[in-house]
Structures are given as structure tokens and as C-alpha cells.
Structure 1
Amino acid sequence: MDNSKSRPARNGANPPLRVAIPPPHLGEELYFHEKCGRNAVVINNGHSAHRKEPYDTPYHGLVFSHRFLFDNELFEVTVDEIISKWSGYTFGIGVTAQNPAIKDDDEDNLEWLHDTLACSWYSYGNSVYENGANIIEEYGIDLANVKEGDRVGVMRKDNGTLHFFLNGMDKGPSATDVPTDVFGVIDLGGCCVRASVIDPLTPVSR
């Protein structure tokens, strides 16, 4: 019987261990890009954003991730502040192929995610949209009812499907054939006026 697999190395040292290589984004921080909607402000070193003059308008609150998302990487934010005005207007979240770093001045006038028509997938209320067209009317997550402290996220899987998350729960596939190199984007619209990016390496209290 060959017991060589259980024998220690001849020099007395243990044989080298196979170490699992972490995903490429593990340890790489994700935060908000400095370029955002004209009624939004990125603060706290890119980790939070809020809408200016929240009682004057529900629009122009788009905020983007500072880099594209890796496959299977969760772009997740905490809803920090809700106001009672603007009922019927809803928080939005999704992904877009539009790079905020090369966003031109005209794009500062984008009111909401419906205006980012080029290669964008996102959710408002309980619906999911692709390039401005409603592709799912009853998805199973209603962003009109988010509360302060709720966590909302989006992820592009390595098979090209897009999933939305609410408080850590995967709500299932919402779109297919979503390309790589998409950026996370939120709309601080309506009653939601402040949100913060969740660091994936920081444990979340449940």
C-alpha cells in the first residue's frame, strides 16, 4: 500500500498548500464617482452621496460607481435618508455602459435613469427597464417602499444575467446578455435623498 500521500516532506517541512486565488475585485474598494447629476453631491471620500435641495425637485440625482463592476460583484448601497415629499417618485438602481469619467456636459442635465438610454439596465418601483423600455412590470422588489437602513444592490453575473438585491436577498434574474464593463448607478430621486456605498469587506449587522 502506498502511503506516500500522507507522508511529510523529507526535509521535515509540510508540503506546499494549494491556495485559492480570490476574485480579482476582492479587496479593491468601490465608491461613487465624483461626476454625478447636477443636483447630487458626492461626499465622505466617495462613500456617500446626497441630493441638493431635496424639497425643490425630485430629479437630477444620478450617481455612478467610480469604476466598472467585476463579474459577480455586488454594487450595494444603504438608504440613509428618506423624506415624505415626492410620493410616487422612486429610488432607482442599475448598471450602465456609460463611463462617468467621459461624461460630457450635456449629460449633467439627465433627470433620471430613463434618460440614460444607451446600454443601461435598471429598476424603478417594482419594474425593470432596458434602455428605457419596460421589460418586467412585476419583478418582486418595490423600490418605492424602501426605508431608511434598507440595503439595495445590483449584480451582473458571469453568465450575463442581472440580479437585484434587497437587504441581502437575491431577487433573481431580471435581464440577460448584459455586457461586461458596466458601471453601477443609483438615482437619488423622489423621497430618497441620501445613500452610502457598502464596503463588501465590512461585515454587515443583520
Structure 2
Amino acid sequence: MRLAPCHEKLDSAHHFPFSVGESGFGVAFTNRPLMDNELFEVTLDRKTTNFPHAMAIGVSPHSPNDITINKFITDLKPPSWSMYYADLYYNNTVSKKNYGRTLDALVEGDRVGMMRRDTGTLHYFINGVDQGAAATGIPSSVYGLIELYGSAAMATIVSKSDNNFALNLLKSYPFPFRSNTWMMYNEDIYVDGNRTLSKYGKNLANLQVGDRVGVMRKSNGQLHIFINGVDQGIAASDVPKAVYGVVDIIRDTISVTIV
């Protein structure tokens, strides 16, 4: 699904939505830097059940015209400050865990926002509630960033400002492994992008360096996932005979080895 560039100006009477469709990634920049003590805010309009995570927010001192736009805020040219889940990131490194309410728990109609105070401190807001100081020493000129991915399919700007915002949606990416795939993400099983089993086994997010994960298709067509040699049980049935194993390395995982 492609992103449609949003170049229209926002005013109090016209809220402009942006979307990545049911399965996609998209990073959007504000059309201008944030002013001091100005709240930039969007609502989550559409959320699917295709993926456990929903969206991310952040800021960057770089104009979108001057850098390469990647899938994630954390992949942008440094420096960047962002919030994923309940955690804070500086560039692609976690700077603080459990900062505030997790963005994964957002439901349709919830609002998220950001503000650079005149002290140089960055604050994030969820449904109008300040989650506290997220970072200090933020440059005086930063652009607001909204990232839709996973289950977040559409959001709308709701900021009210004398200098209206727009969002420039610069690039989208299709969500990988959408059809004819079976996968485990965190502790859940997904088939063709839809969650089919919740709390199937040990949460992959809790793996430590040295832990092992594996996958096996048995002769009866059942798919099993193994963690440190322990069979987590039947993950799916009727899996075709000819399938390829896939490993997705994301976020804090840097390197793996086939054993």
C-alpha cells in the first residue's frame, strides 16, 4: 500500500488524515519545525489486529529534504529522539525503558503528541497527559515525526496552532511476509499477517545473548517453534511441505548465527 503525500495545510476546521493501509510502514515529517512550547498531536484513527505494535513518535533536527527516509525513525540520520512501545530511543539505542504508557496499548481515538519546551526538554503526551521529560538538550529547530507501522493504519493531525501543520509522508514500505507465511512475533503466532494464537510460548522479546530459537515442520504438516531446545507446542497446522525458514532481526537484536 502506498502513502499519499499530504501537503495540505491543517486548520481548526479541516483535520487531514494520513494512512499506510492495512499492512505497511510509513514515516511522516511535519512540514515545518516545532515552535517552543507548541504541542504537535495526532489521533490514531484506524488500528488492525495484524501486528502487536502500533506506532512511534519522535523528533529530528534534519529537514526531510536533506536526508534519506528509511522505514523507522531509529534508522534516520542521527541524531533522532523517539518513543517506541513504552521506551525512549536516542538514535537506534534505548535510552530509557518504561518511560510512560506504552503506545502499543493505544486504541482508535487515542491521541499522541510531542512538545519541545523552551528549556530544550522534549515531552511526549498521550491523550493530553504529559508523560514527563523524555530528553534534554534538544536542538532549537526540530521536526515532529510520526511513524505508522504494524497495526497502526491511519492517523489524523489534531494540533491547533496559529501556524498550521501539515505532514509530508515521504515513503512507504509494504509489511513483509503478508501472505502464505507463518511466524512467531513476541509470544504470539501469526498466519498471513493475522494473529492466530496469543501467548503461544516464551516471549521472544525476553531472549538473552546465547539463547537459541528454532522452527520445525513435522511430517504431519504441523509447525513447531523451539526455544533453547524446548518445543513450544503446535504453532500451526496444514503447513505446506515446501517452506523456507525465515529469521527477522529487528530492534535490539544485532547478530544471530545458524547452529
2:4 is aligned to: 41
Alignment of structure 1 residues 123-202 onto 2, 5 Å: 123-200=83-160
> Following TM superposition, by how much is the alpha carbon of 1:169 offset from its aligned partner in structure 2, in angstroms?
0.6
Letter in 2 for 1:48: P
> Following TM superposition, by how much is the alpha carbon of 1:200 offset from its aligned partner in structure 2, in angstroms?
1.4
Higher helix share: 1
2:29 is aligned to: 64
> Following TM superposition, by how much is the alpha carbon of 1:133 offset from its aligned partner in structure 2, in angstroms?
1.3
Query: What is the alpha-carbon distance in structure 2 between the residues aligned to residue 131 and residue 121 of structure 1?
Result: 6
Unaligned runs of 5+ in 1: 1-37
**Contact (CA 8 Å) 1:117, 1:132: kept in 2 or not?**
no
For residue 81 of structure 1, the aligned residue among 15, 32, 46 is 46
Unaligned runs of 5+ in 2: 10-15, 163-259
**How has the CA–CA distance of structure 1 residues 39 and 121 changed in structure 2, closer, same or farther, with 3 Å as cutoff?**
farther
Q: Give the fraction of aligned pairs with identical amino acids, expressed as a percent.
A: 34
Query: What is the alpha-carbon distance in structure 2 between the residues aligned to residue 188 and residue 45 of structure 1?
Result: 19
**How has the CA–CA distance of structure 1 residues 43 and 99 changed in structure 2, closer, same or farther, with 3 Å as cutoff?**
closer
For residue 99 of structure 1, the aligned residue among 63, 77, 101 is 63
Alignment of 1:51 with 2:20, yes or no, is yes
2:54 is aligned to: 90
Higher strand share: 2
> Following TM superposition, by how much is the alpha carbon of 1:180 offset from its aligned partner in structure 2, in angstroms?
1.0
Deviations 1:58-79 (A, max 9, x none): 43x1011000001111110011
1:26 is aligned to: none
Query: What is the alpha-carbon distance in structure 2 between the residues aligned to residue 112 and residue 80 of structure 1?
Result: 20
Query: What is the alpha-carbon distance in structure 1 between the residues aligned to residue 125 and residue 116 of structure 2?
Result: 11
Q: Secondary structure at the match of 1:158?
A: coil
2:194 is aligned to: none
**Count of aligned pairs between the two proteins:** 156
Query: What is the alpha-carbon distance in structure 2 between the residues aligned to residue 63 and residue 201 of structure 1?
Result: 19
TM-score relative to the length of structure 1:
0.70
Q: Secondary structure at the match of 2:65?
A: helix
Moved over 6 A (4+): none
Letter in 1 for 2:51: W
Q: Secondary structure at the match of 2:5?
A: strand
Alignment of structure 1 residues 13-52 onto 2, 5 Å: 39-43=2-6, 45=8, 47-52=16-21
